[in-house]
Amino acid sequence: MARAYNFCAGPASLPEPVLEQARREMMDWQGKGLSVMEMSHRSDEMVGIASEAEKDLRELMGIPNDYAVLFLQGGATAQFSAIPLNLLRGRSSADYVVTGQWSKKALEEGKRYANANVVASSKDTNFSTIPAFDTWKLDPNAAYLHYTPNETIGGVEFFWTPDSGDVPLVADMSSTILSRPVDVTKFGLIYAGAQKNIGPAGLTIVIVRRDLLGKAHAMTPTIMDYQIQADNDSMYNTPPTYAWYLAGLVFKWLKTQGGLAGMEKVNRRKAGKLYDYIDNSGYYKNPVEVASRSLMNIPFTLPREELDKPFLKGAEARGLLNLKGHRSVGGMRASVYNAVPESAVDTLIEYMKDFASQNA
């Protein structure tokens, strides 16, 4: 059976060599006579798989030893609550930057625990821009500054890192992690649900500076307490073992692709081609300011809404799947994560050209 090109925003494409290896190892992992899914999380085998994945992630992202790496459940959404519970550290307020729907959700959850202040928002441009840093109303006493480096729905990405001074910088990197190098030392905490660029749904990665641990609010659920998870190597309870194993395979694959610098090159080429085509087509449009256009999530519209359905139908017939935009914004969205090959983008552009000429 031929594999389609999958532009889903999440759960998203996985690298084919990873799926092939998982298939080979499904019934009998490395001669042990069982699947990774069937292993005790306390077994030497699973503990080995888990620590190897952490080692590879540390290497790929350059994560220093004064940061803990946690492999958790609950998605990025659980972190919207875990972050204030762990990082308020007796303070009453936290700063939030709102650049789209995910940062808004993080803010709303933050409000349950803290005086969550909106220090900057791009609402007045319908979230198609990033507010200039010199307009941000930062509070030097905030417990942390939260932002969303890539808005998965709006397709808006930061290509610079906010300078939060001594206030810990917290980033929801769910849809940009591993797409290009980042300087981890600029962050107090980085988190990401796995199902975009890391692996299957069900795993969430938290990278947190160790000096921020151990000060969780007393009512923090035990499994959400970063210190307890760090002390237990993310195995305080049963972790998502199979998702962790698959993430480990993705990290190994990334190392064969030239690491994150290698990925960035390919990702810039892929996104660049698609934006260039959209801009020059005189047919399709992307609403985002050029300097903040996401490398991972590329929304676009057709000249008339009634063309959406036939566009999607024709795409599917060519094996181009999941191009429908988020229900809240309409139009189309091509998510071109690490595992989406350049040939997928080329095929999509060919289809877009044909569709435009046949539906002028």
Ligand X SMILES: *Cc1c(COP(=O)(O)O)cnc(C)c1O
Q: Of 29, 95, 196, 324, which is the active-site residue?
A: 196
Crossing angle of helices 259-281 and 342-358, in 10° steps, is 10
Q: Is residue 196 annotated as a catalytic residue, yes or no?
A: yes
**C-beta of 153: minimal distance to ligand X in Å?**
8
Min CB(195)–ligand X separation in Å: 6
Q: Which of 13, 121, 128, 175 binds ligand X (CB under 6 A)?
A: 175
38 phi and psi angles, rounded to 5 deg: -100, 5
- According to the binding rule CB under 6 A, does residue 193 interact with ligand X? yes
Lookup: tokens for 75: 């998605």
Pick the catalytic residue: 56, 95, 172, 225?
A: 172
Q: Using the rule CB under 6 A, which residue among 77, 115, 125, 281 binds ligand X?
A: 77
Binding mask 154-173 for ligand X (x = CB under 6 A): ------------------x-
The interface mask with ligand X, positions 80-109, x = CB under 6 A, is ----------------------x-------
* DSSP annotation string for 43-84: SHHHHHHHHHHHHHHHHHHT--TTEEEEEESSHHHHHHHHHH
Burial (Cβ within 10 Å: 0-12, 13-18, ≥19) of residue 235? middle
Element (H, E) at 348: helix 342-358
Instruction: Work out whether 257 is an interface residue with ligand X (CB under 6 A).
Output: no
- Number of neighbouring beta carbons within 10 Å of residue 159: 12
Stretch that binds ligand X, among 71-79, 138-146, 180-188, 222-230 (CB under 6 A): 71-79
Residues 199-218 that bind ligand X (CB under 6 A): none
If phi over 0 gives left and psi between -120 and 50 gives alpha, with beta otherwise, what is residue 324? beta
Active site residue 29: no
Size of the site for ligand X (CB under 6 A): 12
Closer of 144 and 311 to ligand X (Cβ) = 144
Please state, as a whole number, how many other Cβ atoms lie within 10 Å of the Cβ of residue 213.
Answer: 19
The identity of residue 330, as a single letter, is G
State the nearest-atom distance from the C-beta of 232 to ligand X, in Å: 22
Q: Which residues pair with 69 in a beta bridge?
A: 207
Give residue number: closest CB to ligand X: 75
Candidates 11-19, 40-48, 72-80, 249-257 — which segment interacts with ligand X by CB under 6 A?
72-80
As measured in angstroms, the least distance from the Cβ of 177 to ligand X is: 10
Residue 10 found at the interface with ligand X (CB under 6 A):
yes
29, 102, 244, 253: which is the annotated catalytic residue?
102
* Measured distance CA(283)–CA(129) in Å, rounded: 22
> Which residues are paired to 95 by β-bridges?
117, 145
Where b means 16+ CB within 10 Å and e means fewer, 260-275 reads beebbebbeebbebbb
Is 102 a catalytic site residue?
Answer: yes
Least gap, CB of 302 to ligand X (angstroms): 24
Catalytic residues: 102, 172, 196
Interface ranges with ligand X (CB under 6 A)? 10, 75-77, 102, 148, 152, 172, 174-175, 193, 196
